[in-house]
């Protein structure tokens, strides 16, 4: 028969375990969420089967301040209404790079993305863009998102702008494979345009 002291220790251990489980679930729901890359739409930045961490605070803070996410951010988002109405899985999540914010005028001409009339330098692109897109102004509270594998990506050039409220989080860290372990870096604007540094994504 267990002594009261043993029973007390056992009860305390279960309570501690329960607290840690609740903390882990809370962190996953509010702060960080693991994702994996099932497609090649973000090649070469993100490889098939890469495992990444997606942080969820930045989109919430941006929304609370009525600010768009930074250019170059790699975002994971719920399927936009346009895709859902076309039969896309409403529970699916996609990953793309933010290339346009509200008020930006975007155009694709001669294999190059233009933003507000200036070419966007995208060091990760392995080939010129093989489609054209007439000038379009990104509406308020929307983002224009494209895959880094520009010619094989289901993105804004096909289905239009993304409501920022659909963003789940931004990709911040790749934890698998270990050979590519490390943070996902965001680009920094320059006077000549936007020079995009290496970045990373999430699902789809």
Residues with a known catalytic role: 41, 96
Distances (CA, A) of 31 to 55, 117, 168, 202: 5, 37, 10, 15
Cβ 184 vs Cβ 172: under 8 Å: yes
Distance CA 39, CA 203 (A): 8
Write out the DSSP string of 147-183: -SSGGG--SHHHH-PEEGGGEEEEEEEEEESGGG-EE
Q: Are 52 and 130 in contact (CB under 8 A)?
A: no
Residue 168 — φ and ψ, nearest 5°?
A: -85, -40
DSSP-derived 3-state class of residue 85: helix
As given in the structure block, the two tokens for residue 151 are 């010619």
Phi and psi at 171, nearest 5°, equal: -75, 130
**For residue 176, what are its two tokens?**
């698998």
């Amino acid at each position: 028969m267990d002594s009261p002291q043993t029973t007390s220790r056992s009860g305390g251990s279960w309570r501690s375990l329960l607290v840690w489980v609740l903390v882990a679930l809370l962190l996953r729901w509010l702060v960080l969420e693991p994702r994996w890359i099932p497609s090649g739409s973000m090649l070469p930045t993100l490889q098939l089967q890469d495992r990444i961490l997606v942080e969820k605070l930045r989109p919430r803070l941006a929304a609370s301040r009525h600010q768009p996410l930074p250019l170059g951010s790699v975002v994971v988002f719920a399927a936009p209404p346009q895709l859902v109405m076309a039969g896309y899985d409403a529970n699916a999540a996609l990953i793309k790079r933010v290339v346009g914010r509200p008020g930006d005028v975007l155009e694709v001409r001669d294999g190059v993305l233009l933003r507000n009339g200036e070419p966007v330098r995208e060091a990760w692109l392995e080939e010129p863009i093989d489609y054209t897109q007439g000038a379009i102004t990104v509406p308020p509270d929307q983002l224009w998102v494209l895959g880094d594998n520009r010619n094989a990506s289901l993105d804004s050039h096909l289905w239009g702008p993304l409501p920022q409220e659909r963003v789940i989080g931004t990709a911040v860290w790749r934890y698998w494979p270990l050979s590519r372990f490390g943070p996902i870096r965001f680009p920094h604007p320059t006077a000549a345009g936007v020079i995009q540094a290496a970045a990373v994504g999430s699902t789809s």
